[in-house]
Amino acid sequence: MRTYETAFILRPALEEEALTTTVGRVIELIASGGGSIEHRDDWGKRRLAYEIGGERDGYYTILRFKADSPTLKGLERAFRLNEDVLRYLIIRWEAPARRQREPDVAAPASSAPSSGQPTTSLGPIGPAGKPSAGPPVTPEAESPEV
């Protein structure tokens, strides 16, 4: 069995009892196929990013579960046939990879001689904080003599 995660949005007009019944049917469908629920997260009523079927809000529920392929097909069919489900998504869930800390490594010493002036990969940094294209411009060089 693989681990999957499903997120589904139910119509906002449903009463609390109907919400509980619909989510219960989804859980029962997974269990009847030999699957098991690992995690359940009810987000409650939230504003949708865009209108779906004339609705601006919806009840969000997320389930992480273990199931076989035939159970997934039955679950997807149940979502498609239930008019109270605005949207659904089923994905294969993979645990986040643990990041390993890399040992602190000292910065390599530069082999180029330092001129004492800050530099970038583009060259020396000019007075405006931008890389300069050449030697600094002097006031005499800026104004041409007429």
Low-confidence ranges of the chain (pLDDT < 50): none
Q: How far is CA 51 from the centre of its chain?
A: 21
Q: Quick check: 69 and 16 in contact, CB under 8 A? A: no
Amino acid 98: pLDDT: 81
| Each residue's pLDDT tens digit, 113-122 | 555 665 555 5
Amino acid 96: pLDDT: 81
Q: Quick check: 93 and 6 in contact, CB under 8 A? A: no
| Each residue's pLDDT tens digit, 1-20 | 899 999 999 999 999 999 99
Amino acid 146: pLDDT: 57
Environment class of residue 8 by beta-carbon count within 10 Å: exposed (0-12), middle (13-18) or buried (19+)? buried
Task: Report residue 69 as tokens.
Answer: 């392929």
Residue carrying structure tokens 């009840």:
59
Helices (H), the chain: 16-32, 69-81, 139-142
Residue 39: partners with Cβ closer than 8 Å, 6 or more residues away: 62, 63, 64
- How far apart, in whole angstroms, are the C-alpha atoms of residue 92 and residue 89? 10
Amino acid 15: pLDDT: 92
Q: Looking at the DSSP assignment, which residues form a beta bridge with residue 36?
A: 66
Amino acid 38: pLDDT: 94
State the fold for domain 2-92. Alpha-Beta Plaits (3.30.70)
Amino acid 126: pLDDT: 59
Amino acid 39: pLDDT: 94
Largest CA distance in the chain: 95
- How far apart, in whole angstroms, are the C-alpha atoms of residue 59 and residue 15? 11
